[in-house]
Amino acid sequence: MTGKFIAKNFALLIIAGSVFAVLAWSVWSLPQSTGLTFTVQAQMERSGVTNPVTAVLLNFRAYDTLLEVGVLLLALLAVWAFAPIDDNYDEAVTPPATAQKALTAFLVPVLLVVAAYLLWVGASKPGGAFQAGALLSGAAVLLALTGVPYQATGIGLRLLLSIGLLMFISVGLAMFPSAFLQYPGDWAGVLILVIETAAMISIGVTLALLFYGRVPDSQLSVPPKQDHYTDTDKLQSDARDIS
Amino acid sequence: MLAAEYILVLLIVLPLTAAVVAFLWPRYAAPVALVSAAAMLLLSANLALLITATEPIRYNLGGWQAPLGIALYADGLAVLMVSMTAIVGIAVAAYARAYFQPGDSATGSRVALFWPLWLLLTAGLNALFLSIDAFNIYVTLELVGLSAVALVAIAQKPEALRAAMRYLLVSLLGSLAYMLGVALLYAQYATLDLEMLHLSMNATPATWTALVLMSSGLMLKAALFPLHFWLPPAHSSAPAPVSALLSALVVKAAFYLVLRLWLHVFEEIVTVNAAQLMGMLGAGAILWGSLQALRAERFKLLVAYSTVAQIGYLFLAIPLAQTEGASLAAASAAVYLALSHAFAKAAMFTTAGTVLHVAGHDRIRDMAGISQSYPLTAFTMGLAGMALIGLPPSGGFMGKWLMLNAAFVSGQWWWVVVLLVGSLLAAAYVFRVISHAFTHLEQIPYQIKLDWKLEWPGLLLALLAALLSILALPLFDALNISTVLSGTPLTESKP
Amino acid sequence: MSAEHLYLLTGMALFVMGGVYVVSNPQLLGKILAINVAGSGVFMVLITIAYRARAEYPDPVPQAMVLTGIVVAVSATAVALALAVRVRNASSDNDTDKTTEE
């Protein structure tokens, strides 16, 4: 234990302690408040669902959820921007054991059914698109770890990834000239389910691809070459890392 | 002409949808992006015209009133920020079209992803500028932050990846601090709407801590001294179009939020000392950033440190706005400087990118001959430098003049010293670059003909920055950014 | 001190510990995990605020905030981890061992 080590950690302790003290002081005298519970409760009938959290997420504050689905897609694009290129989406590092294969064979259908259940029950109990999507991606990861290769080709995959955001925006624009993200008439419950289904698919696929962490070469199509240079020497010098 | 509320929604939904379209069809990603950029330019111009005719616009999403729902809000300040995003956006998009060549060894294979990422960045920025809900702002901050990190990392170089990693960690820490502040505010006031918060604001411990937490998070994201350490590596190792976007727009978003919080939402409880502290940090940024810019060997590193310095100027507005008579001048000064810097810095980074393209390096000492071979680029450098120093009739001049005005009216003469020293240092590092670039060589070393898209976007941006005083005066009066100080309607306004 | 205060303080403590660890520990993976710990602290504070509502059901708005926050945190962690892997691979290509952040 060198002196520098002790000094640095002592300083950190002091800093951490004082920050914590300030934070503790701030919560000590918070007023007892019911927050927005009653405000939400008053509007529950018009929300189309009976679970208050789902109502907040997909009706009252649906805009936040829309952006959040966008953030999830953005995360995948971000990973694809620098991840290693790998066309062989196979996660089985060692051949899977029999027990693993049996367990996967049992679990994957169960996961699919539970995911569908969570999606459906989200209207009245805790559940919904994100939870269901997470289970779907878990099933995909299990399959991958057991050596089921993943076909990640072409526009089909990209559609699956985008369907959540696209459906959300489309439904949001349903009443567009007069309102955005307002559900027409009594359709709130149905439309919420539609959005959640599309979102579940997108979330599941996105999380599964985030787990792989690599990008298939087929997803990085290079645009056709544009002839911007009149100097052929420059084209050769492009081989150097200049940007 | 569309009604203002529709434009607010379109400004966010259009780039989001375009991002998905660009992702689905990479072959058409660039044209889709450019068309969206043009559309956003038109939309923001339309919005500006509408806002001059009416009061600020508030639009409740989903038909739910605050505090239950989320609202979009556009006053003069928000509209100016959105317009800034649109103008810089289309210029940088045109530049990027020519800059990213498929044959590039670095970004080459990932070029297709640049466009969806850029569109998502734009959607996030517009969503941030137009939002008036504290938690919604957190989500938009993440949207902006993640896309910015991805755009830095798209260069694939080791130093860009390391810089992106540091940027990501800093950004996440800042977002978490911000979210904790929002949680405290909600616990205290049971609302997330910024205007409702402003009306119910009391000086309680939780409120104070929330202000400190949110400001710390935003200061990290705005790279205010001493939390600026992540910016120079990130902005100097990113590809030039990305650096332009980051320096011009992303750091301004964080500052815009600080401005709203300090000058409006928390107005009642901000103390003079706290505001002075912010100003001190701004002064530190100006001095430190300018000194480091003087020492920089590489052009892009110099421009990145210049951003650190220029951000400091913006934060000087906070203490200056605390005095009654000076607050409008201070707020206007900040906006002028923000706009001018956005245009000038984006232009400067495009010239840096061009220098890299033609010379293979961006060492300042070896930049001789640029003005001979590429007079447009050199002219752009000169104009942008002029705006950064603050020579008339640039926006920088107007901003600094307004700030001096505010300093004298409020009796805070010490900021005058900071402004003068800062301008001198800026002149020093700008002239350092200009003198090297304008050195004539006997033998012209550069043979490459440049695509017009590599020179004209920067030139137009620089012209805009250099003439901003003339062009903007009538617009500023009309847009009446004093509403940022006075408040916003809680009910939806009907046009 | 009530149970709520305890939960709030725990959440704050997690946030502070995570934050301090991010700035002081040189290991990249450690920083990423610390960010997650700090995030969990903030979520805990939010859930406690929801619990404090003491009405027919806990306040749904902070709960929705936490759900959104978790999704954002997961997205950001995924990007951070992928970037960390890439940074390490890029560094080892250059023959230096850089699992620590510069």
User: C96 CA to chain A: closest CA distance, Å?
Assistant: 19
pLDDT at A226: 46
For residue C94, is pLDDT > 70?
Answer: no
Residue B221 CB: number of other CB atoms within 10 A?
Answer: 29
User: B158 CA to chain C: closest CA distance, Å?
Assistant: 6
Q: B15-29, B130-144, C45-59, C63-77: which range is least confident on average?
A: C45-59
Name every chain C residue with its beta carbon within 8 A of the beta carbon of B164. 83
pLDDT at A240: 46
Residue B485's pLDDT band (cuts 50, 70, 90): low
pLDDT at B66: 82
**pLDDT (tens digit per residue) in B274-333:** 999 999 999 999 999 999 999 999 999 999 999 999 999 999 999 998 887 788 888 888
Domain ranges of chain B: 4-486
Q: What is the CA radius of gyration of chain C?
A: 17
State residue B493 phi and psi, 5-degree precision.
-95, 135
Residues in CB range of A139: below 8 A, 6 or more apart: A107, A108, A111, A112, A115
Q: Are strands B71-74 and B57-60 parallel, antiparallel or unpaired?
A: antiparallel
| CA nearest to B161 within chain C | C87
Q: Is the CB of C68 less than 8 angstroms away from the CB of A78? A: no
Strand, coil or helix: C98: coil
User: B397 CA to chain A: closest CA distance, Å?
Assistant: 33
Among B337, B136, B146, B139, smallest CA distance to B256 is for B337
| CA nearest to A241 within chain B | B105
**Omega within 30 of 0 (cis) for the link into B393:** yes
Q: Is the CB of A23 less than 8 angstroms away from the CB of C19? A: no
Using CA atoms, how far apart are residues B327 and B331, in angstroms rounded to an integer?
A: 6
pLDDT at B424: 94
Residue A225 per-residue DSSP state: P
**pLDDT (tens digit per residue) in B452-467:** 888 899 999 999 999 9
Residue B76's pLDDT band (cuts 50, 70, 90): confident
Residue A57 per-residue DSSP state: I
Asked if residue C68 lies in contact with residue A65, where contact means CB atoms within 8 angstroms, the answer is: yes
| Cβ of residue C6 closer than 8 Å to a chain A Cβ | no
| Residue B72 burial (C-beta neighbours within 10 Å; 0-12, 13-18, 19+) | buried
Q: Is the CB of A26 less than 8 angstroms away from the CB of B184? A: yes
Amino acid symbol at B361: H
Q: Is the CB of B169 less than 8 angstroms away from the CB of C91? A: no
Among B230, B244, B239, B246, smallest CA distance to B174 is for B230
**pLDDT (tens digit per residue) in C29-42:** 999 999 999 999 99
Amino acid symbol at B295: R
**pLDDT (tens digit per residue) in B360-418:** 888 888 888 888 888 889 999 999 999 999 998 888 999 999 999 899 988 888 999 99
Among B416, B486, B183, B351, smallest CA distance to A26 is for B183
Among C62, C74, C75, smallest CA distance to C11 is for C62
State residue B472 phi and psi, 5-degree precision.
-95, -20
- Burial string for C61-88 (b: 16+ CB within 10 Å, else e) reads bbbbbbbbbbbbbbbbbbbbbbbbbbbb
Q: Is the CB of C54 less than 8 angstroms away from the CB of A34? A: yes
Subunits adjacent to chain B (3 or more Cβ pairs under 8 Å): A, C
Interface-testing mutation among B32, B110, B165, B355, with chain A (most A C-beta atoms within 10 A): B110
pLDDT at A237: 46
| Cβ of residue A45 closer than 8 Å to a chain B Cβ | no
Calculate the alpha carbon distances from A37 to A167, B195, C42, C62 in Å: 29, 20, 20, 10
Question: Residues for chain C: how many in total?
Answer: 102
Q: Does residue C88 form part of some domain?
A: yes
| Residue A88 burial (C-beta neighbours within 10 Å; 0-12, 13-18, 19+) | exposed
Calculate the alpha carbon distances from A17 to B178, B410, C12 in Å: 20, 38, 11
Residue C55 per-residue DSSP state: S
Would the CA dihedral through A119, A124, A130, A132 be positive or negative?
A: negative
Name every chain A residue with its beta carbon within 8 A of the beta carbon of C74. 207
Q: Is the CB of B102 less than 8 angstroms away from the CB of A223? A: yes
Residues forming a β-bridge with B363:
B298
Among C66, C41, B185, smallest CA distance to A53 is for C66
CA angle (B30, B33, B34) in 5-degree steps: 85
Name every chain C residue with its beta carbon within 8 A of the beta carbon of B183. 42, 45-46, 49, 62, 65
User: C65 CA to chain A: closest CA distance, Å?
Assistant: 9
pLDDT at A90: 65
Name every chain A residue with its beta carbon within 8 A of the beta carbon of C10. none
Residues in CB range of A11: below 8 A, 6 or more apart: none
Segment B1-23 mean pLDDT? 90
Residue-by-residue pLDDT tens, chain A, 243 positions: 688 888 888 989 999 999 999 999 998 888 888 888 999 999 998 888 999 999 999 999 999 999 999 999 999 999 999 988 876 666 666 778 888 889 999 999 999 999 999 999 999 999 899 999 999 999 998 988 887 776 767 788 899 999 999 999 999 998 887 788 999 888 889 999 999 999 999 999 999 999 988 887 777 765 444 444 434 444 444 444 444
Domain ranges of chain A: 56-215
- Burial string for A25-55 (b: 16+ CB within 10 Å, else e) reads ebbeebeebebbbebbbebbeebbbebbbbb
Asked if residue B269 lies in contact with residue B207, where contact means CB atoms within 8 angstroms, the answer is: yes
B134 HSE (CA, 13 A, CB side): 34
pLDDT at A236: 47
User: A55 CA to chain C: closest CA distance, Å?
Assistant: 9
pLDDT at A89: 65
Domain residue limits at C64: 3-93
Strand, coil or helix: A92: coil
Name every chain B residue with its beta carbon within 8 A of the beta carbon of A182. 61-63
Q: Does residue C9 form part of some domain?
A: yes
Asked if residue C85 lies in contact with residue B162, where contact means CB atoms within 8 angstroms, the answer is: no
SS3 sequence of chain B: CCCHHHHHHHHHHHHHHHHHHHHHCHHHHHHHHHHHHHHHHHHHHHHHHHHHHCCCEEEEHHHCCCCCCCEEEECHHHHHHHHHHHHHHHHHHHHHHHHCCCCCCCCHHHHHHHHHHHHHHHHHHHHHHCECEHHHHHHHHHHHHHHHHHHHHCCCCHHHHHHHHHHHHHHHHHHHHHHHHHHHHHHHHCCCEHHHHHHHCCCCHHHHHHHHHHHHHHHHHHCCCCCCCCHHHHHHHCCHHHHHHHHHHHHHHHHHHHHHHHHHHCCCCCCHHHHHHHHHHHHHHHHHHHHHHHHCCEHHHHHHHHHHHHHHHHHCHHHHCCCHHHHHHHHHHHHHHHHHHHHHHHHHHHHHHHHHHHHCCCEHHHCCCHHHHCHHHHHHHHHHHHHHHCCCCCHHHHHHHHHHHHHHHHCCCHHHHHHHHHHHHHHHHHHHHHHHHCCCCCCCCCCCCCCHHHCHHHHHHHHHHHCHHHHHHHHHHHHCCCHHHHCCCCCCCCC
Q: Is the CB of A213 less than 8 angstroms away from the CB of C89? A: no
Using CA atoms, how far apart are residues B303 and B344, in angstroms rounded to an integer?
A: 10
Which has the higher per-residue pLDDT, B239 or B476?
B239
Residue with tokens 């911007």: A228
Residue with tokens 């150097």: A240
Residue B491 CB: number of other CB atoms within 10 A?
Answer: 9
Note the helical H segments in A56-187. Answer: 62-82, 98-121, 129-145, 154-172
- Contact residues of C toward B, CB < 8 A: 15, 19, 22, 28, 31-32, 35, 38-39, 41-42, 45-46, 49, 52, 61-62, 65, 68-69, 72, 75-76, 79-80, 83-84, 86-87, 90-91, 93-94, 98, 101-102
| Cβ of residue A4 closer than 8 Å to a chain B Cβ | no
Q: Is the CB of C35 less than 8 angstroms away from the CB of B169? A: yes
Segment C12-27 mean pLDDT? 93
pLDDT at C60: 94
Average pLDDT, chain B: 89
| CA nearest to A230 within chain B | B449
| Residue B376 burial (C-beta neighbours within 10 Å; 0-12, 13-18, 19+) | middle
Segment B155-161 mean pLDDT? 89
**pLDDT (tens digit per residue) in B193-240:** 999 999 999 899 999 999 999 999 999 999 998 999 999 999 999 999
Interface-testing mutation among B179, B212, B213, B221, with chain C (most C C-beta atoms within 10 A): B179
Name every chain A residue with its beta carbon within 8 A of the beta carbon of B240. 243
Q: B242-256, B432-446, C59-73: which range is least confident on average?
A: B432-446
| Residue C99 burial (C-beta neighbours within 10 Å; 0-12, 13-18, 19+) | middle
Asked if residue C51 lies in contact with residue A34, where contact means CB atoms within 8 angstroms, the answer is: no
Which has the higher per-residue pLDDT, B489 or B171?
B171
Using CA atoms, how far apart are residues A119 and A122, in angstroms rounded to an integer?
A: 5
**Omega within 30 of 0 (cis) for the link into B67:** yes
ipTM over 0.85: yes
pLDDT at B459: 92
